[in-house]
Amino acid sequence: MNCSARQAVFDKVNEMTLLKNQEIVLTIEDFTREGEGLGKYQGFPFFVKDTVIGDKVRVSITKLKKNYGYARLIEILKPSPDRVEPACPVARQCGGCKIQQLSYEKQLEFKWKQVASCMKRIGGFAEIEKLMEPVYGMDHPWHFRNKAQFPIGTDRTGNPVAGFYAGRTHTIIPNTACLIQAEVNQEILETILQYMKENRVAAYDEKRHQGLVRHVLTRVGFVTGQIMVCLVVNGHAGQLVNLNYLIDKLAQISGMTSIVVNTNKDKTNRILGSECKTVWGKDYIEDKIGDIRYQIGPLSFFQVNPMQTRVLYGKALEYAALSGRETVWDLYCGIGTISLFLAQKARQVYGVEVVPEAVEDARRNARLNHIENVTFYVGRAEDVVYRECEAADPDDFHDKKHPEVIVVDPPRKGCDQTLLSTMLAMAPDRIIYVSCDPGTLARDCRILCAENYEIKKVAVVDQFGHSCHVEVVSLLQRMSNTRERTITLDVEMEDYHRIVNGVDHKKRKNTAIDT
């Protein structure tokens, strides 16, 4: 629709005098990246949660903006052929599984198209579909998460409850039997809630900053069966009345390996504090991805879907095309998950992470697996890579640090300009970009491909079934066979920000899905 036609629609809308709470009928035509249905009323767009493409619905207008509006679903007049009944009884209220009402096959199709759309619209890759593999989905998209963070609160009768936040709120929807979490969590939560009730241990009230138990964090090793329970408290372990009774109850659960109390006294939305005290068992659990074993503590970053992580890392390893002679740099390496995977096939792997505790975990995991061809550094990736490569002796094979392959797995905000500049200055043959946000992936690939790289392959992996989140791994190949050891990257700041501004990075509220 051109500008004059769009203005005509808006003028017509002004004449219609739409009002808040007015009921209208829409046919849902599209999905947003946040999983909201999009329908138009006489050309004016409305976003409606809990709808599916093809639904004919009656809605109530909740908010009107100049160019669009929001509405609440009242009734499904004619369901889409792709609509299914959500398996979870609180799926609509909960903030996590936003698209559980969509058949799983269509969820996968939606995510594949979401990646393609971002790569076209933001990245400018007009024929990206030709480079994209079919989406990698789950055989059984239930009970796949190995980590959960349950907020603890109080219901109207004063009893403690656990569950997840409703979308865009901090209102707890009670649910101890989440269908995407490990099944053992129900037994863990009900044990803790019963202990709190019997011993009058208060749940945390974030408005008054009072009460003790804030969250319960669980980690479950899907291969090893080991379990960690971490109670996040607004105080310390000594304030948990009759704690040994709770420990005895939890220790009876098959697989229980570690019980930890984490202290978080801050008035903050951040779930975990920095101080942990192990009150029973080990400080960590262990799990495996492929042949690699990892030690995972309460503060460790570890992919939450181990089965799909194996697919994701397998693709990264395939795209890296390692022969055993390559030097690989793994940026944003965390606890070394991808680094150790790559070390099985590379000559040498260097991992970089800004969090010192994560690097200690990475080094410990390397020792655990008897892997010696990997070195981890603490620091900003752009600083460490350039410094180490410049200091290396180019004539000493054993001191060779200049990369043939760079693997980057940044947070949702993507890579900053300095890191992109450094990667381009290093001029590796291949860049493997693992991303949890198709928008920032597209933006960064656009910048890299403007400087002598081209996208060769893209794989979409469904790590987070029934949510709108998706993981992507992309292969970028350097087009020139001649490496310039010292080049100056010149991505203008205004160009960078122009591309960045095409992506919405507004901070989102906590939901049931922690990526």
Domain boundaries, the chain: 3-78, 147-289, 301-500
The residue among 286 and 487 whose pLDDT is bigger is: 286
Domain 3-78, CATH homologous superfamily name and number: Nucleic acid-binding proteins (2.40.50.140)
* Cα torsion angle, 234, 240, 243, 245, sign: negative
- The pLDDT confidence band at residue 399, using thresholds 50, 70 and 90, is low
Distance CA 123, CA 180 (A): 32
* Residues classed as catalytic: 436
Secondary structure (3-state) at 28: strand
What is the band of 390 on the pLDDT scale with cuts at 50, 70, 90?
confident
pLDDT tens column, 228-248: 999 999 999 999 999 999 999
The average pLDDT across 253-262 equals 98
Least confident of 246-255, 416-425, 504-513: 504-513
Q: Which CATH class is domain 147-289?
A: mainly beta
**Res 511 pLDDT > 70:** no
Q: CB–CB of 229/218 below 8 Å?
A: yes
Which CATH superfamily does the domain covering 301-500 fall into?
Answer: Vaccinia Virus protein VP39 (3.40.50.150)
Ramachandran area for residue 50 (φ above 0: left; ψ -120 to 50: alpha; else beta): left
Q: What is the pLDDT at residue 498?
A: 45
Answer yes or no: are the C-beta atoms of 177 and 171 closer than 8 Å.
no
CA–CA distance, 147 with 261 (Å, rounded to integer): 16
For 325, what's the count of Cα atoms within 13 Å in the CB-facing half-sphere? 2
10-34 pLDDT tens trace? 555 555 679 999 999 999 999 888 8
Edge-to-edge strand list for the sheet holding 213-220: 172-174, 160-165, 147-154, 213-220, 227-233, 256-263, 275-281
Domains 3-78 and 147-289 share a fold: yes
Over range 40-67, report the average pLDDT.
Answer: 96
Quick check: 115 pLDDT over 90?
yes
Residue 129 pLDDT level (bands cut at 50, 70, 90): very high
pLDDT at residue 504 tops 60: no
Q: What is the pTM of this model?
A: 0.86
pLDDT band at residue 512 using 50, 70 and 90 as cut-offs: very low
Tell me what the mean pLDDT of segment 328-349 comes to.
Answer: 95
Write the DSSP symbol of residue 132.
Answer: B
